[in-house]
A and B are shown apart, each in its own frame.
Chain A
C-alpha cells in the first residue's frame, strides 16, 4: 500500500462508472438470445465473485465452498416458491437472508481456522451441502434437479433478464466498492496484512472476518436465487465443489483485491467454455492450459497486470 493505493481510493467511483457504461453498451454487441444467455450467466457468476473477492482479495480468507451458498440460495428460493407457493419476489429475499444466518452460524466456529485448515473446512461445508441437496429428493428432486417457477408473469425472455441481472451486478459492485472504501474495508485490508498487527491496532479481527464472510455468502446466495428463477431449473451441480473452484478461479484469474478483476475473471472464465465447445474433445485440455499459463505468467491476475502495463505505458511510477 503506497500512494497508488490512495489514488485508487479516491477514484473508487471509476470502476463503477466504467462497468455501468460497459453493461449499458453491451446489448449493441449481442446478436442473439444465445449471446444474451452467456452475458446473463457472466453477470450471475460476477455477482458471486464480487462478494467472494471481498473475502479472498481483501480480508485474505480463503473459501472453497462458496458454491454451497450459491446452491442454498438457489434451492431455498426454488423450494419456497415451488413447494410452498411463495411468490418469487418473497422467496428470493427469504432464501438469501436464511443463507446469511447459516453463514453466520458456521462462520463463527470455522473462521477461527487459518490457511489450509480454513480451505478444508469450507470445502467440507460445500460438499456437505451438495450431498444433502442431491439426497433429500422429496424436497429437492435429487440429482435430477427440480423445476423452478418464473420470477413473475411479466418477466420473460433473455432481454428482460439481462437488465435484471445487470442492475443486480451494478448494485453488487456499488455495495462492494462502498465497503472497501469504508473504515471496515480498511480494517479488512489490515487483517489481510497481519491479523496480529491488526488486533494490536484495536481491530476486532473475528468480528470483521465474520461480517465479510456473511456478506460474501449473501452475494453468492443472491446470485444463486436469481440463477434458479432465470434458468427455471436447477441441479445440485450448482453447489458442487467444481463450481466452488470455478468461483475462486474467476476471482484469482481476474485479479485479487480488484472488484473489476472479479467481474473480468467471471466474464472470461464463463465465456471461455462456450467458445471452446468448438474444439469439443480438446475443451478440458485447453481450459486447464489457459488457467495454468495465465497464472504462471500473470500471477497477480488479469486486471492488476493490465493496470500495471497501462500505468507503465503512461510513464507513471507504480
Chain B
C-alpha cells in the first residue's frame, strides 16, 4: 500500500510543483501573487479537451492549448498587471482574483459547465510495479514535469533572458540601469508561468478530469506549495509541491480521506510557524 500512496503523492506533488513554479516565476519578476495561476491549469486541460474533440490529433491539441494559455498570460500582464504597477500588494491580489473570476466565467461561455476528459497520452492499461498499480499517464506526469524543471533550471542559468529575469527579481532598479527591459522580463515571466500552468493542466487531465472550476483548488495548492518551499525559490517550489502531494496522499491513505486537505494545510501552517520563510526561502532582514 505504501508504494501506492507514495506514487500517487508524487504524481499530484509534481502537478503542484509546476503550479508553484508558476507562482514563483511571476512573484520573482513582479512581486505579484498571481491568484489567476490556477486558471492557466484549467485552460490547459479544457482547451486541449476542446481541441481534441474538434478533431485535432492529441499532440497538436496539447501544443495549441499551451499556446492559448500563454497568450492569456501575456494579455493578463499587458492589460491588468502593467497598468496597475504602482498599486499596493493587496490591490494587485484583488486584480488577479478578478482576473481568475473573469477567466472562469469566460470558460463557461466558450466551453460549458460539464466535466471533460482528455485521453491518456499512451494507453490506459495499468502497469504493475512491486504490488502497486501504475497508470502509464503517471509516468508522463513525472517525466514531463522533471523535464520541465530541468529545462527551466537550464533557462535561468544559461540563457540571457533567464539571467535578465533573475536580475530583475534581485533588484529591479539595478537591472534597469544595466539595460534590461523590465517590461520584456515581465511579459516573458507571465508567458512562461502560464505555459507551465497549462502544461500541468494537460498532464493531469487524463487522470483527474477537467472542468471550468478545477483551477481554484489547484491554484491554492500551488500557492501553498510555493509558500511552503519558500516564496520565489525554484527548488523550494518543487520541494514544496512534492512534500504537499506526499502529505496529502499519506494522510488520505492512513488517516482519513475526507480530511486529506486538512492535514496538508495543518502541516503548512505548522511549517510556517517554525520556518517563517519556508523550507528554502531567503532569510530577509527588514529595512527600517
- Chain A residues with CB under 8 Å of chain B are 56, 62, 109-110, 112-117, 119-121, 123-125, 127-128, 131-132, 135, 194-197, 241-242, 245, 248-249, 252-253, 256, 281-292, 295-296, 299
Contacts and interface: CB of A to CB of B under 8 A. Distances in A.
A288 B100 contact: yes
Contacts of B258: 131, 135
A89 B83 CA distance: 50
Pairs A-B, 3 closest by C-beta atoms: A288-B102, A284-B105, A291-B98
B94 A284 contact: no
Interface of B: 33, 80, 83-84, 86-91, 93-95, 97-106, 108-109, 216, 220, 223-224, 227, 231, 258-259, 261-262, 265-266, 268-269, 272-273, 276-278, 286, 288
B288 A196 contact: yes
Contacts of A281: 108-109
Given A128-B265, A245-B97, A295-B91, 8 more contacts: A62-B90, A117-B272, A131-B262, A242-B216, A281-B109, A285-B105, A287-B105, A288-B103
23 contacts: A109-B273, A110-B269, A112-B276, A117-B227, A117-B272, A119-B93, A120-B223, A121-B272, A125-B265, A127-B265, A128-B266, A131-B258, A131-B259, A131-B261, A195-B286, A196-B286, A197-B288, A248-B94, A285-B105, A285-B106, A287-B98, A295-B91, A299-B84
Between B83, B102, B104, B286, the greatest number of chain A beta carbons within 10 A of the residue's beta carbon is seen for B102
Contacts of A287: 98, 101-102, 105
B87 A113 contact: no
B60 to A, nearest CB: 29
Nearest to A120: B227
A296 B95 contact: yes
Secondary structure class of chain A's binding surface, majority of residues: helix
A284 B102 contact: yes
Contacts of B220: 123, 127, 241
B101 A288 contact: yes
A197 to B, nearest CB: 6
Given A112-B273, A113-B276, A288 B105 contact: yes
A36 to B, nearest CB: 28
A296 B84 contact: yes
B99 to A, nearest CB: 6
Contact of B83 (A62, A109, A124, A296): A296
B33 A295 contact: no
A252 to B, nearest CB: 5
Contacts of B90: 56, 62, 248, 252, 256
B86 A299 contact: yes
A292 B108 contact: no
A248 B276 CA distance: 23
A299 B87 contact: yes
Contacts of B80: 292, 296
A115 B105 CA distance: 29
B106 to A, nearest CB: 6
B243 to A, nearest CB: 14
Contact of A288 (B33, B98, B272): B98
Contacts of A116: 33, 227, 231
Nearest to B260: A131
B226 to A, nearest CB: 9
A62 B223 CA distance: 16
Contacts of B277: 117
Given A120-B227, A135-B258, A284-B108, A289 B268 contact: no
A127 B261 contact: yes
Between A121, A196, A281, A286, the greatest number of chain B beta carbons within 10 A of the residue's beta carbon is seen for A121
B109 A285 contact: yes
Contact of B269 (A121, A194, A286, A292): A121
